[in-house]
């Protein structure tokens, strides 16, 4: 291989170098000057983004590298860009927050970058080995970040739970993968797909494959946080420092979605009738439990955690509608609907948690519903942004969330799952109630005590862009939808 | 282009009002300019409309979301034309009516109304189902905020109830639309759906999908319970828009979706729709009679009046449908005026209870005169707009079935009973208390608003031809279309 052949992994290489560089750089800055580390991390991110764009436009559409261990395609590049943006926004939002709480240490930034590297490897994984490698790199960094606030009991508890359950889910995933390896004799996703297609006809082989598949799906469900593998989500979202919650709720979810696509759609399309059934059950349970339980929460972070569970259920509606009546006619529509949903969800999630971070300041943690009371009186612009985010989460037009729901419902109806769609729609009505409650608190109630907001011009700008993007996407969703469709077509 | 202007001018004006903020002295004038300009651009729709044609006119077509073949497709026919005009017209009155009355967060108040006005024009002119849905649902957000911020004491309950009730209906409609999209081979064009053959069982399932959305909006008995709460708690402007325009969305949906797309199911289930309409007219009529709160009384009377509209639609003849449409326009004027009248009293006395008034005619003679016109129209007195619609509906019902007509006509008397009885208790008699004695009569702004509405009500009552002639060919075309089974 010539050096040029390695060009498609340029973003990952740059990120690795950047993350290592940041660790060294951080030794030379004092605590007061930690802002410089954040700037360093941002620069690394922009370089990676530029490299990814270079790869996207500069190379062929679909590349297998390192003997098929690593895939570069539109799908991977699109999701990587989403992850960069999410992490970049996370750094902007959380800088002052972490600084005031003494958590802006160099470890945070480098852990964040290493975790991002894990996400990218996961997104581009072409083999079970790289899937696992990326997954563990991402998760291990996240465990440490959850425990960043080491004096807080809830954070430590959350980190412990996250670690134990994360390890368990990795174990399940590995177990499933080993079964499939046993059946197919290969770890490379394309080869697995070929072998599975060959063996699926014989009942004996099929049993083994489906047995492995069950464990793989369980492992995926853990990472996506769907019922009944959701138990860690509320505690971790609640216990982690809000910036870490923001990160967990965006990038890793996108990466987990990519993992689901690689493992189910790419590796085991022949078993689609089996995994679609499993996903249907997971989806409807998640939508039901997430939406109903969220009503009872008074803590916003917990509420958003349950809302995340519900949203992952909606996302699965697309993933389970690709293979219908012995053909793949609706494959592109269904999977691109899920992809679109995932991206829109990441934007909404970053915005919602970003708002919570932004409204917190030294000695005040904005995390209860009550803390938003009367926001329209005190800070009308933030109230408006939050209004957009909430209506988008609820799926009310003209916001991006509506088209995301429209796309997955369309996929479900086209696949003949009309009753699934009706149930999901009715449960999304239940969901609308708790999002409305947030709007009600902000707009209809009087403020208790006006909390000052620290002036952060950059944060304000990014937050505004984040909120308005949802509105813009709600008016002109075509571009992103077309990108999602191309990404899936060339998968 | 005109339709786009009718939609976007109010929305842009609304954003502008938000941007200049509460303290800017020009804020109200920008709002008024937006509303007036929004109405002015709809006038060429009226003058340039070809009443002889039943086709969609002033059509605009742009690709919007190619991924789902969703288009920005606008157009109006004789059925929707009048609603665009009515909506733009009422918006001006709402802005004037709220001129000094609203004291807190005034800019947000005007902005919400202007944006909603644009969205409503969008609902009436959308020819693409998703575009329709986006506008249809989009109206929920400003209305939710209008009720919740500027409403009465129980406003939060009313706002949430309003939102969830209407969202429930709309979501089922969304599934029905997605089903039709797949059946039509990937098209959201409403006019394509009109031609789509569907089996009876599918039609019935879809009919119920649409029914929930539209019945909640109309509202029909028994899903009407959000309306009295929302109306009572909303500020005057909110009640006006709610009664005059938002309620029309549901009925409009029946004419645009249910009847032409699902004619066989409509026919099959007509008995149910007629029964629900008669229950609304009769049962709600009695409920109205015993109300002690004026706004609640008018809200219930709206439900009862909308019962005539749905009755007219489901007797399946041109007279009934046209009567229903005329009744909708008339109700738009009359209910708007009635709520404005209550608003006039409320602004002075801060109570809506009938018992707190009495003998208002002694202190407010101009007001009493104007309100009498509207009370008469609400009762359906000949020479007012209220008579024309109800009469046409009853005639239409007579053609279909004598007994339906008999029941509807007999119960219609309740309308006179509750309106005039309220009018008598509030306006006539000796001065009830000191507060009434201190009332001041209408100011210039209020005279303009109510006067314009009084002219409209009388004009439509005496000479309804300009209103009915634009809808003839569209309605006849609709009747011809639904006479052919689609099975």
Q: Please tell me if residue B226 touches chain A, with a CB cutoff of 8 Å.
A: no
Percent of chain A exceeding pLDDT 70 equals 98
What's chain B look like in SS3? CHHHHHHHHHHHHHHHHHHHCCCCCCHHHHHHHHHHHHHHCCHHHHHCCCCCCCCCEEEEEEEEEHHHCEEEEEEECHHHHHHHHHHHHHHHHHHHHCCCCCCCCHHHHHHHHHHHHHHHHHHHHECEHHHHHHHHHHCHHHHHHHHHHHCCCCHHHHHHHHHHHHHHHHHHHHHHHHHHHHHCCCCCEHHHHHCCCCCHHHHHHHHHHHHHHHHHHCCCCCCCCHHHHHHHHCCHHHHHHHHHHHHHHHHHHHHHHHHHHCHHHHHHCHHHHHHHHHHHHHHHHHHHHCCCEHHHHHHHHHHHHHHHHHHHHCCCCHHHHHHHHHHHHHHHHHHHHHHHHHHHHHHHHCCCEHHHCCCHHHHCHHHHHHHHHHHHHHHCCCCCHHHHHHHHHHHHHHHHCHHHHHHHHHHCHHHHHHHHHHHHHHHCCCCCCHHHHCCCCCCHHHHHHHHHHHHHHHHHHHCCHHHHHHHHHHHHHHHHHHHCCCC
Query: What is the value of ipTM here, to two decimals?
Result: 0.87
| Interval B305-336: pLDDT, tens | 888 889 888 888 888 888 899 989 999 899 99
* pLDDT computed for residue A2 by the predictor: 59
Whole-number mean pLDDT of chain B? 86
Partner residue opposite A396 with nearest CB, options B141, B156, B159: B141
| Interval A140-195: pLDDT, tens | 999 999 988 888 888 899 999 999 999 999 999 999 999 999 888 899 998 998 88
Interface with chain B: mutation pick from A440, A442, A473, highest number of B CBs within 10 Å? A440
Percent of chain A exceeding pLDDT 90 equals 42
Is the pLDDT confidence value at B155 over 90? no
* DSSP three-state, residue A298: coil
| Interval B267-293: pLDDT, tens | 888 889 888 988 888 888 888 888 888
Is the pLDDT confidence value at A123 over 90? yes
| Interval B244-274: pLDDT, tens | 888 888 889 998 888 888 888 888 888 898 8
Give residues 409 to 428 of A whose Cβ lies within 8 Å of B. Answer: 409-410, 413-414, 418, 421-422, 425-426, 428
Looking at the complex, report in whole angstroms how far the Cα of residue B399 sits from the nearest Cα belonging to chain A: 39
pLDDT class of A451 with cuts at 50, 70, 90: low
Is the pLDDT confidence value at A1 over 60? no
* pLDDT computed for residue A140 by the predictor: 93
Mean pLDDT in residue range B156-162: 85
Pair type for strands B70-76 and A70-72 = unpaired
* pLDDT computed for residue A61 by the predictor: 66
Q: Please tell me if residue B178 touches chain A, with a CB cutoff of 8 Å.
A: yes
Is the pLDDT confidence value at A450 over 70? no
| Interval A215-270: pLDDT, tens | 999 999 999 989 888 889 999 999 898 999 999 999 899 999 999 999 999 888 88
| Interval A297-352: pLDDT, tens | 889 999 999 999 999 999 999 898 888 877 777 888 899 999 999 999 999 999 99
All residues of chain A having their beta carbon less than 8 Å from the beta carbon of residue B142 are none
CB A93 within 8 A of CB A243: yes
Q: Please tell me if residue A432 touches chain B, with a CB cutoff of 8 Å.
A: yes
* pLDDT computed for residue A84 by the predictor: 93
Partner residue opposite A436 with nearest CB, options B137, B160, B171: B160
DSSP string across A315-383: HHHHHTSS-BTTB-TTHHHHHHHHHHHHHHHHHHHHHHHHHHHHH-BTTB---BGGGGTTHHHH-HHHH
pLDDT class of A4 with cuts at 50, 70, 90: low
* pLDDT computed for residue B25 by the predictor: 80
pLDDT class of B133 with cuts at 50, 70, 90: very high
pLDDT class of A37 with cuts at 50, 70, 90: confident
pLDDT class of A398 with cuts at 50, 70, 90: confident
Name the pTM for this structure. Answer: 0.90
DSSP string across A21-89: HHHHHHHTS-GGGTHHHHHHHHHHHHHHHHHHHHHHHHS-S-EEETTTTEEE-HHHHHHHHHHHHHHHH
Whole-number mean pLDDT of chain A? 88
All residues of chain B having their beta carbon less than 8 Å from the beta carbon of residue A437 are 160
| Interval B58-101: pLDDT, tens | 888 888 888 888 889 998 888 888 899 889 988 888 888 878 77
Partner residue opposite B138 with nearest CB, options A397, A440, A485: A397
Is B137 in contact with A397 (Cβ distance < 8 A)?
yes
Peptide bond connecting B170 to the previous residue in cis, omega within 30 degrees of 0: no
Is the pLDDT confidence value at A456 over 90? no
Q: Please tell me if residue A256 touches chain B, with a CB cutoff of 8 Å.
A: no
* DSSP three-state, residue A299: strand
* pLDDT computed for residue A447 by the predictor: 82
Mean pLDDT in residue range A71-91: 91
Cα A162 to chain centroid distance, Å, stands at: 16
* pLDDT computed for residue A254 by the predictor: 93
Q: Please tell me if residue B355 touches chain A, with a CB cutoff of 8 Å.
A: no
- Residue B482, C-beta contacts closer than 8 angstroms, at least 6 positions apart: B259, B260, B263, B266, B267, B316
Q: Bigger pLDDT: A477 or B439?
A: A477
pLDDT class of A60 with cuts at 50, 70, 90: low
Q: Search chain A and give the residue with CA nearest B171.
A: A425
Is the pLDDT confidence value at A59 over 80? no
């Amino acid at each position: 291989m010539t050096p040029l052949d390695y060009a498609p992994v340029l973003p990952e290489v740059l990120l690795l170098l950047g993350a290592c560089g940041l660790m060294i750089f951080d030794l030379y800055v004092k605590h007061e000057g930690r802002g410089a580390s954040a700037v360093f991390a941002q620069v690394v991110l922009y370089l990676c983004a530029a490299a990814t764009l270079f790869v996207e436009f500069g190379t062929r559409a679909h590349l297998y590298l390192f003997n098929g261990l690593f895939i570069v395609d539109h799908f991977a590049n699109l999701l990587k860009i989403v992850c960069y943006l999410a992490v970049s926004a996370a750094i902007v939002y959380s800088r002052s927050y972490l600084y005031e709480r003494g958590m802006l240490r160099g470890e945070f930034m480098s852990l964040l970058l290493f975790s991002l590297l894990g996400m990218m490897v996961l997104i581009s994984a072409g083999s079970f080995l790289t899937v696992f490698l990326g997954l563990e790199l991402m998760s291990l960094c996240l465990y440490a970040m959850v425990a960043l606030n080491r004096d807080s009991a809830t954070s430590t508890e959350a980190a412990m739970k996250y670690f134990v359950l994360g390890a368990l889910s990795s174990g399940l995933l590995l177990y499933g993968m080993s079964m499939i390896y046993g059946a197919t004799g290969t770890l490379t996703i394309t080869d697995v797909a070929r072998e599975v297609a060959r063996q699926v006809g014989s009942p004996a082989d099929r049993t083994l494959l489906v047995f492995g598949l069950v464990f793989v799906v369980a492992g995926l469900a853990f990472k996506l946080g769907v019922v009944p593998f959701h138990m860690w989500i509320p505690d971790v979202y609640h216990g982690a420092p809000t910036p870490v919650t923001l990160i967990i709720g965006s990038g890793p979810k996108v990466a987990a979605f990519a993992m689901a696509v690689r493992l189910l759609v790419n590796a085991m399309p022949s078993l689609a009738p089996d995994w679609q059934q499993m996903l249907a059950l997971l989806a409807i349970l998640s939508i039901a439990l997430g939406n109903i339980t969220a009503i009872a929460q008074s803590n916003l972070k917990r509420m958003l955690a349950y809302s995340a569970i519900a949203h992952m259920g909606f996302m699965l509606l697309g993933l389970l509608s690709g293979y219908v009546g012995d053909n793949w006619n609706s494959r592109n529509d269904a999977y691109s609907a899920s992809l679109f949903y995932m991206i829109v969800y990441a934007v909404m999630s970053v915005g919602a948690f970003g708002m919570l971070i932004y409204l917190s300041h030294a000695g005040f943690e904005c995390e209860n519903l009550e803390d938003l009371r009367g926001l329209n009186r005190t800070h009308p612009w933030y109230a408006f942004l939050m209004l957009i985010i909430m209506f988008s989460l609820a799926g009310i037009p003209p916001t991006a969330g509506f088209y995301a729901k429209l796309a997955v419902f369309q996929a479900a109806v086209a696949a003949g799952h009309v009753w699934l769609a009706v149930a999901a729609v009715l449960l999304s009505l239940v969901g609308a109630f708790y999002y409305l409650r947030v709007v009600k608190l902000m707009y209809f109630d009087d403020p208790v005590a006006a909390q000052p907001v620290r002036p952060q011009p950059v944060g304000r700008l990014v937050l505004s862009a984040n909120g308005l993007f949802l509105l813009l996407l709600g008016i002109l969703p075509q571009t992103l939808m077309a990108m999602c469709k191309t990404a899936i077509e060339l998968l | 282009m005109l339709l786009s202007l009718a939609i976007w001018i109010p929305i842009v004006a609304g954003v502008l009002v938000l941007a200049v903020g509460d303290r800017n002295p020009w804020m109200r004038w920008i709002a008024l300019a937006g509303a007036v300009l929004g109405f002015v651009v709809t006038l060429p729709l009226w003058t340039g409309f070809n009443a002889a044609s039943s086709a969609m006119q002033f059509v605009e077509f742009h690709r919007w979301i190619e991924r789902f073949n969703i288009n920005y497709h606008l157009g109006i026919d004789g059925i929707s034309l009048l609603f665009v005009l009515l909506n733009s017209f009422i918006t001006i009155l709402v802005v004037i009516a709220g001129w000094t009355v609203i004291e807190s967060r005034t800019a947000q108040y005007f902005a919400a109304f202007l944006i909603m006005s644009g969205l409503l024009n969008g609902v009436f002119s959308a020819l693409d189902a998703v575009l329709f849905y986006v506008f249809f649902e989009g109206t929920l957000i400003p209305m939710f905020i209008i009720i919740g911020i500027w409403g009465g004491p129980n406003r939060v309950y009313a706002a949430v109830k309003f939102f969830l009730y209407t969202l429930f209906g709309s979501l089922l409609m969304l599934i029905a639309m997605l089903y039709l999209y797949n059946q039509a081979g990937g098209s959201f064009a409403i006019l394509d759906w009109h031609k789509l053959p569907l089996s009876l069982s599918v039609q019935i399932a879809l009919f119920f999908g649409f029914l929930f959305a539209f019945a909640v909006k109309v509202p029909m008995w028994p899903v009407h319970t959000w309306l009295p709460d929302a109306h009572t708690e909303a500020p005057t402007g909110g009640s006006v828009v709610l009664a005059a325009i938002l309620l029309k969305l549901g009925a409009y949906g029946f004419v645009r979706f249910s009847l032409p797309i699902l004619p066989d199911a409509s026919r099959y289930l007509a008995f149910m729709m007629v029964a629900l309409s008669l229950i609304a007219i009769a049962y709600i009529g009695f409920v109205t009679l015993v109300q002690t709160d004026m706004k609640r009384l008018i809200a219930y009377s709206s439900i009862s009046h909308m019962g005539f509209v749905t009755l007219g639609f489901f007797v399946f003849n041109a007279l009934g449908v046209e009567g229903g449409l005329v009744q909708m326009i008339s109700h738009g004027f009359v209910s708007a005026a009635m709520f404005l009248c209550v608003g006039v009293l409320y602004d002075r006395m801060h109570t809506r209870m009938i018992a707190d008034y009495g003998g208002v005619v002694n202190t407010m003679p101009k007001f009493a005169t104007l309100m009498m016109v509207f009370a008469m129209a609400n009762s359906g007195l000949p020479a007012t707009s209220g008579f024309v619609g109800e009469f046409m509906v009853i005639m239409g019902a007579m053609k279909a079935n004598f007994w339906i007509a008999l029941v509807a006509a007999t119960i219609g008397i309740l309308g006179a009973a509750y309106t005039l009885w309220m009018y008598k208790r509030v306006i006539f008699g000796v001065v009830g208390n000191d507060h009434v004695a201190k009332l001041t009569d209408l100011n210039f702004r209020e005279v303009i608003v109510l006067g314009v509405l009084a002219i409209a009500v009388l004009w439509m009552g005496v000479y309804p031809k300009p209103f009915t002639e634009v809808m003839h060919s569209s309605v006849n075309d609709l009747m011809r279309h639904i006479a052919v089974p689609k099975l």
